[in-house]
Structure 1
Amino acid sequence: MAVQPSQAPLKRPTMADVAERAGVSRTLVSTIFRGIPGASAKTRERVMKAADELGYRPDVAAQMLRRTRSRNLGVLFTSRHAFDLEFIEELYPAAEKYGYHLVLGAMTATRDEYKAVEELLGYHSEALILLGPDLDAKQLNALAASVPVIEVARVVKRAKIDVVRTDDESGVGQAVDHLVGFGHRRIIHIDGGHMPSATERRTGYEKAMASHGLADNVKVIPGDYTEESGAAAAAEILTWGDRPTAVIAGNDRCALGLLDTLRRGGVRVPEDISVVGYDDSRLARLSFVDLTSVRQDVRRMAELAVLAASQRLDENRTETQSFVLEPTLTVRTSTGPAPA
């Protein structure tokens, strides 16, 4: 007995189908999906509506093969830092605005930056956006000889690359000013060690303390950007007879570990010790944390990073640029007047 053929599969909608449904040319549809300006907002909306009704999705892989350029931006980051993850979220709309795609390369405990960069280049990334790697100026210059490099959230000297960062000295200076205004004099800082911008934050603390005549009160506890370093610093503070009245942590994660251990040790925040973080991440904004923190404009940093890449790739800019943003202090309930 002959086997009846099964029902033919549904035909995948094409760009020509979208053009017919929207009543425009196929060329115009292609132009709209490639993000090239020219079509009116009304026409663009009609084409997008037709594509949605038909279930049409552009074949990105095929588009890339047809192009001489990939328009890929490689992003090196670590999933351990809240700042990196928030930056990635803001990077997507910024890249889309300039017609670029993101290729992500994460550094992990078992995957170093060299392996991640090699993979990003293997995906034909036209430029690299690096979030605080350990590459020195010589290594960055070698990398920049093949593709434009944009360093984010780290000061890099003698490297022919673009930099997008926050003025971290000013940020920690604002935190010190805020605490001194509340009457604090015994203010200490938990250092970020070798982490990005840690040196600038420590310098900002020391300069601000000196500007208020408190140079003799400067005290830095070694640490890093983890909850564990904050907890270790708090455990040390709990053993002191003459405790500080305020602590500025290297970042919000460090501050979170500090807060938890201080409170477990019977210290009231902010009545006994005020605490300030850095980054103003989602951790700081949690209702049960409510941490005073120095805010970095992550959205603007992401926009500037993509802009720098676009200028290099689309406008042939060759001179290096440094974009330095001014941070702001977000005051919440973890800081208050110094105890009498």
Structure 2
Amino acid sequence: MDDLDSAHPAGGNGATPRPRLEDVAARVGLSTASVSLVLRNVAGPSERTRRRVLKAAAELGYRPDRNASALASRRSRLLGVMVDIHSPFHAELVEHLHTAAEEVGYDLVLSTLTRTRDESTVLETLLAFRCEALILLGSVSPAPVLAELDRKAPVISVGRRIAEADLDVVRTADDDGVGQVVDHLVALGHRSIAYVDGGKGVIVTDRRRGYRDAMRRHGLDERIRVLHGDITEAAGERAGRDLLDSGDLPSAVVAYNDQCAIGLLTALRRAGVDIPGTVSVVGYDDDALSRLACFDLTTVSQNAEEQARHSVAAAMERLERGRTTPREIVLAPSLVVRGTTARTR
């Protein structure tokens, strides 16, 4: 039996038998071993052979039996991904992770964080599915917990800086990203620049520090103004109402992420505040919502595609090449200027 398939006899009701690896091999006149190499994306067969095999498999409706493959090879070829169901940026990351994983012959198992499903439950689920490596988007688990998890399956932490444990990390320089935002606003003449915080966590701390450091760099120490917030649109709306109630509107506001910025925009526009004429607003993440014409939000791109590719590459280095030394990959964020920032009046 090949490690990609198993025999599936026709059912007693006259059902059409499921196409087998042997059927694909017969169609193209190759050995099952050669066909298996192509379908497992293993180097060796020529590009012409690959095209012939993939075309035949598609025409026959062949699908590999993943259970049989796992049993035969003792490999699941699954990468477990923890994702926050409420995060548009995580959704974009997952799309790119799928593409990067498929290119190296792996698939993803997603386990979601929700309001009633915590991180420990998510991690237990991924391990139960025999995921060979774990890609954790925005994990908040203590570093010792992640280090212990790494002994069971390689862990790649995406987005979060982890200094307390020897783990693979893929992230952007969040402090630099917010610093670019402040530099942009100062260049537009803004001096009264407020910041809506993101709550708790390492990523939150890095972005807050980036705001404070940039304000000090521009000699605006006395203008530092941090408002309570979190990662949600509701938090942005609350921050917007608080600014309106204070009677002291800044000329620009930087929000922890795009969701928070969109809530802030909603509150200010509802109150008749001209954006960006009276107040400029900036987010962070460059998620799909920020690009919609109705928001046209100035923001910071973390390059989701590049993060995804580096994350899968790190997993492959651990699984296929046996790398044991942890690596941290820090990507440079980039400012994306759209319609919610302008020169101060």
TM-score over 0.5 for the pair = yes
Q: What is the SS of the residue equivalent to 1:129?
A: strand
Tell me which amino acid in the other structure corresponds to 1:317.
R
The Cα offsets for residues 161-203 of structure 1, whole Å up to 9 and x where unpaired, read as 1110010011001100110011000001000111551111110
Distance 1:12 1:241 in 2: 70
Q: Is the CA contact 2:89–2:288 (under 8 Å) kept in the aligned structure 1?
A: no
Change (3 A) 1:111 1:7: closer
Q: Which residue of 2 aligns with 1:319?
A: 325
Identify which range, 63-72 or 197-206, moves more after superposition.
Answer: 63-72
Which of these residues, 184, 189, 198, is aligned with residue 192 of structure 1?
A: 198
Bigger mean CA offset, 133-142 vs 212-221 = 133-142
Q: Pairwise mapping of residues 106-145 of structure 1 onto structure 2 (< 5 A)?
A: 106-145=112-151
Residue 134 of structure 1, CA deviation: 2.0
**Residue equivalent to 2:261:** 255
Q: In the alignment, which of 42, 56, 61 is matched to residue 62 of structure 2? A: 56
Report deviation, 1:218: 0.5
Which is worse superposed, 123-132 or 250-259? 123-132
After superposition, where does 1:288-307 map in structure 2 within 5 Å? 288-307=294-313
1:284 aligns to what SS in structure 2? Answer: helix
Q: CA deviation at 1:312?
A: 1.0
Q: How big is the shift at 1:98? A: 2.0
Establish whether residue 23 from structure 1 lines up as the match of residue 29 from structure 2: yes
1:73 lines up with 2:79 in the alignment? yes
Give the Cα–Cα distance (whole angstroms) in 2 for the partners of residues 50 and 314 of structure 1.
Answer: 29
Moved over 6 A (4+): none
Classify the secondary structure of the residue corresponding to 2:283: strand
Of 269-278 and 142-151, more deviation after overlay is shown by 142-151
Q: What is the CA–CA distance in structure 2 between the aligned matches of 1:292 and 1:232, rounded to whole Å?
A: 20
RMSD (Å) for aligned C-alpha atoms? 1.3
1:47 and 2:63 aligned: no
8 Å CA contact retained: 2:69, 2:75: no
**Contact between 1:195 and 1:225, CA under 8 Å: does it hold in 2?**
no
With normalisation by structure 2, the TM-score equals: 0.94
Q: What's 1:163 paired with? A: 169
Percent same amino acid among aligned pairs?
A: 48
CA distance in 2, matches of 1:51, 1:138: 46
Query: Displacement of 1:226 after TM fit?
Result: 0.3
CA distance in 2, matches of 1:148, 1:278: 29
- Superimposed CA distance per residue, residues 185-244 of structure 1 (whole angstroms, 9 cap, x where no aligned partner): 000100011155111111001111111111110000011110011000000111223310
How many corresponding residue pairs?
A: 334
Runs of 5+ consecutive residues of structure 2 not aligned to the other structure: 1-11
Specify the code of the residue in structure 1 equivalent to 2:91. L
Query: Which of 102, 116, 129 in structure 2 is aligned with 1:96?
Result: 102
Instruction: Name the structure 1 match of 2:3.
Output: none
Q: What residue is the counterpart of 1:225 in the other structure?
A: 231
SS at match of 1:51: helix
Pairing partner for 1:236 from 225, 242, 257? 242
